[in-house]
């Protein structure tokens, strides 16, 4: 019962929400082992859980038609819809109260908090109905880094680093939703940008007769038209450009090496994701890997602005969190069943 409730909160991916907040906290002078750091982590969990539970509720009618989501507690009936709505209200209230407390009356911070909440709800409401969905969720999670920064240090137009980090995080979420998200839901999503751009999954069947018996093999292949292929490729470019800008601003040779490694890894992962031999489980695994690589690239580009212990904590904590929850939920390490 508890496991089913935790699953509909998608707690397994909450560490990256916490990490976004902690990057902003540490960049603005926050201390690793402090009560404020703990509270920002708790806010990240509550914000993430309430937002994704609302997303599950909004997608409920569509998820019932998706064979890849029959194990979801809402779809299977393990958790009732009424119970989930009640839990969503409770989590939303606690997340809002803790967020307001952490912002300590900061007008800019409260404005950002209201903005990300509105964008998150907008995404949930239009996720399966409108192509604007990736815009809303990119702003929602990309701007989280600004919340602790605005409280600790304030926001100014000449704070180049925080604006570059925010832009990179926003571009990362865009790729995660507009490319990876649409790709993994290509078979069942009623409104899918990649399918509108020509992406298709088709079944090939092969057969032969052996001893008067026909043996048949079937395989699924991914077909990308030029529009879908170029869109997926172009969606990587903002992260590369913004990563390069961070290298220039930090003036670090190590940052340049990290960026090169990160770009090469993402290009390889991108090619694997768009391989013509369609395998949904493999897509899920490589979506997770690409998300981890793009996150770690940003994190270690900031080494020097963040100390070594902060970087190490933000490297291993999310990985341990993600792998542990995946093991509990799905019996896997890097491949969530979503």
Tens of pLDDT, residue by residue over 110-146, are 999 999 999 999 999 887 677 888 999 999 999 999 9
How far is the C-alpha of 82 from the C-alpha of 145, rounded, in Å?
33
Check whether 161 has a pLDDT greater than 90: yes
Kindly list the domain boundaries of the chain, sorted by start residue.
2-330
Distances (CA, A) of 131 to 186, 196, 336: 14, 10, 25
Within 10 angstroms of residue 27's Cβ, the number of other Cβ atoms is 21
Distances (CA, A) of 310 to 263, 289, 307: 23, 22, 5
At residue 6, the pLDDT reads: 79
Contact between 215 and 276 under an 8 Å Cβ cutoff? The reply is: no
Closest CA to 286 of 228, 232, 211: 232
198 against 32, higher pLDDT: 32
For 2-330, give the CATH class: mainly alpha
Phi and psi at 205, nearest 5°, equal -120, 135
The CA-based angle 12-15-21, given to 5 degrees, is 150
- The average pLDDT across 94-118 equals 94
Confidence of residue 335 (pLDDT cuts 50, 70, 90): low
Cα 327 from chain centre: 19
Angle of helix 35-58 relative to helix 81-103, nearest 10 degrees, comes to 150
Contact between 19 and 75 under an 8 Å Cβ cutoff? The reply is: no
128 against 313, higher pLDDT: 313
Which of these ranges, 40-49, 118-127, 198-207, has the smallest mean pLDDT? 198-207
- The average pLDDT across 231-246 equals 88
Check whether 212 has a pLDDT greater than 90: no
202: helix, strand or coil: strand
């Amino acid at each position: 019962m508890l496991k089913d409730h935790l699953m509909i909160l998608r707690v397994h991916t909450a560490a990256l929400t916490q990490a976004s907040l902690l990057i902003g906290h540490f960049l603005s002078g926050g201390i690793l082992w402090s009560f404020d750091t703990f509270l920002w982590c708790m806010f990240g969990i509550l914000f993430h859980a309430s937002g994704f539970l609302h997303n599950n509720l909004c997608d409920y009618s569509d998820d019932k038609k998706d064979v890849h989501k029959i194990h979801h507690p809402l779809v299977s009936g393990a958790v009732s819809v009424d119970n989930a709505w009640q839990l969503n209200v409770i989590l939303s209230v606690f997340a809002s109260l803790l967020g307001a407390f952490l912002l300590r009356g900061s007008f800019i911070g409260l404005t950002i908090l209201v903005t990300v909440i509105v964008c998150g709800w907008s995404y949930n409401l239009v996720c399966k109905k409108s192509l604007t969905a990736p815009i809303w969720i990119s702003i929602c999670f990309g701007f989280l880094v600004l919340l602790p920064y605005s409280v600790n240090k304030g926001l100014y137009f000449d704070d180049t680093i925080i604006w570059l980090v925010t832009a990179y995080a926003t571009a990362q979420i865009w790729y995660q939703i507009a490319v990876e998200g649409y790709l993994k839901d290509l078979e069942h999503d009623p409104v899918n940008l990649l399918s509108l751009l020509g992406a298709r999954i088709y079944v090939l069947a092969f057969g032969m007769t052996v001893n008067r018996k026909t043996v048949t093999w079937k395989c699924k292949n991914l077909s990308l038209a030029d529009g879908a292929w170029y869109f997926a490729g172009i969606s990587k470019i903002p992260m590369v450009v913004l990563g390069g800008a961070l290298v220039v601003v930090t003036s670090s040779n190590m940052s340049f090496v990290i960026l090169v490694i990160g770009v090469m890894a993402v290009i390889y992962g991108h090619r694997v994701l768009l391989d013509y031999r369609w395998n949904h489980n493999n897509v899920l695994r490589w979506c997770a890997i690409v998300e981890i690589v793009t996150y770690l690239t940003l994190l270690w580009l900031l080494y020097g602005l963040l100390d070594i212990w902060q970087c190490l904590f933000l490297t291993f904590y999310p990985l341990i969190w993600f792998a542990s929850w995946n093991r509990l939920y799905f019996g896997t390490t890097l491949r969530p069943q979503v």
